[in-house]
Structure 1
């Protein structure tokens, strides 16, 4: 069991699709890590690639000057489709896809009170059985506004066992009558 702190709660379907393409292109791990580091160290680069005033030609030249040749075309397509702002999420989805191919599922747990080791093991057993995984990589996030309980996000599915979620479901039932 591995615990990781992630900036992304879960990835959008578009990011997951781009990550699959990146995975299928078999771009080297070094090129991907280098590109991710460049984007992390210079957030203004994302702003430039997202800017509608900057022409695609200028964006492509910038990509050609900065990035490894093996990842350039991928970044150009992402930029051309207006998804440069999602690049960190795409890289996170790529890591999830890579882990998935190794039998590791990424689970994002949002909680009010941190789970005990026993509770975590039970959730891990449930996730491994449900998603046919060998192990779970955890992303943990404390969120007091849930009032109690927890939210569990795994492979695009949400399991809501929070008091806040129960209150919302109760409210929906009462207003539909």
Structure 2
């Protein structure tokens, strides 16, 4: 059994958002195309309170109940079986989908007999990286869909470095047409 994890394809991470990854919205059509190939589709959302220590590091983004926190309109949400909310506390960063506070993602995946997890979304160098590394750590065969991710790239090579870290941790880098 295999699942697709869509990480944070939210308005604030797409063009016009306060923390936009260049071309962030470009991942939505790719994700929509591959989603039917999976037994389960899980999407994570940054879901920050208005006051959080996370905003000491980052500009306020994906604040609960705001337009910036909503999924980008190009993402077909009808494909999504579960939404995992992360970064919901006042002191947690919530980079990894495995830090969701509304569901124990590990238990959910294991209860549904998921053995392979395909990771897509935003941002390659933060939330995608953390989610993929946690997936490997939890024993899932982990694939990163390289054309369905985009990075924030605070530093110019951050996404390249993140991809290397994921590969070294045991993630398999794959293009959407290979699925």
Same fold (TM over 0.5): no
Larger of the two Rg values belongs to structure? 1
Greater share of residues in strand: 2
Greater share of residues in helix: 1
User: Shorter-chain-normalised TM-score: which range?
Assistant: under 0.3
TM-score (norm. length: structure 1):
0.25
TM-score (norm. length: structure 2):
0.24
